[in-house]
Amino acid sequence: MSDNNSLNRLSGKTAIVTGAGRGIGAAIAQRLANDGAQVLLTGRQRGPLEEIEKKISHAGGKARVVTGDISVPADVDAIVSDAVRAWGRVDILVNNAAVFDEPPFMEVSPEAFRTTFDINVLGTFLMSQRVAKEMIGAHSGSIVHISSIDIFGADGPVTAYTATKAAVSSMARTMTMELAPLGIRVNTVAPGFINADMLVKTSTPAVLDHMMNDFQRVPLRRLVEPEEVAAAVAFLASGDASAITGIDLVVDGGLTANLYAVETLPEPMIPLGAGE
């Protein structure tokens, strides 16, 4: 790659990234390519995927596009089969595709709930199982699920989404126990508040400015950039993480490190040992 910051630690590797047309998925695909991997970009809409393919190509990387719905087994098989035909193997799978569109709890319909689980959980399962069958032959592989800090607590009226991310994290741990003896590592990356399309769409200008420049709830006082999540994924996908499996790697600017209880009190507490 032309980027001098490229580590080339994924040189010769092949990767599939779901939901690669925008946001975190696009950043992940570009980072993996920048680190030397050949990347298959997949999602339901060809246009955004082709735009990312062009960016990767212009930067000197290699990528290909296959559209499909990961909640449909036939589509999943077509996506993975394309990668195997092109490369002979799949070394890395990043399960990023997810939907995030639901009303408050009392208004969520069974159909909306099922749709969210179909993409976020069933799709992740189908992709993982199909790719793992290819990885077993090489006794090597890395699967990374994109989870969320929502697995630790609620941050809004997104019941189905939060439940799916908890399911994905739990599934990763079970997969770890079964796949580790077969040479396949499974981890999740749990992002916090990300500077991406969805947050921009759901925030007023004043809220967005606060989150970008003075996010007091977060120790780093800002949003996390998609490229920072991508860097964590690239690490877990690489040989640098060869002894790491079954973890939730949190990328949240320190948000979940702080219970934010003391800061909300009417006045400071009295320090222990004061005056002794």
Tell me: the pLDDT tens digits for 36-51?
999 999 999 999 999 9
d(C-alpha 90, C-alpha 137), whole Å: 10
Q: Which CATH class is domain 14-194+225-251?
A: alpha beta
Instruction: Locate 97 and state its tokens.
Output: 């595709």
Stretches where the chain sits below pLDDT 70 are 1-7, 274-276
Specify whether the CB–CB gap between 28 and 48 falls below 8 A: no
Contacts of 98 (CB under 8 A, 6+ apart): 19, 119, 120, 146, 161, 164
Catalytic residues: 161
- Quote the Cα angle for 258-260-262, to 5°: 115
Q: Is 37 helix (H, G, I), strand (E, B) or coil?
A: coil
Whole-model pTM: value is 0.94
Nearest alpha carbon to residue 233 among 194, 181, 183, 273: 194
What distance, in Å, lies between the first and last C-alpha atoms of the chain?
61
pLDDT of residue 201: 78
**How many residues in the chain?**
276
Neighbours of 208 (CB within 10 A): 15
pLDDT of residue 199: 82
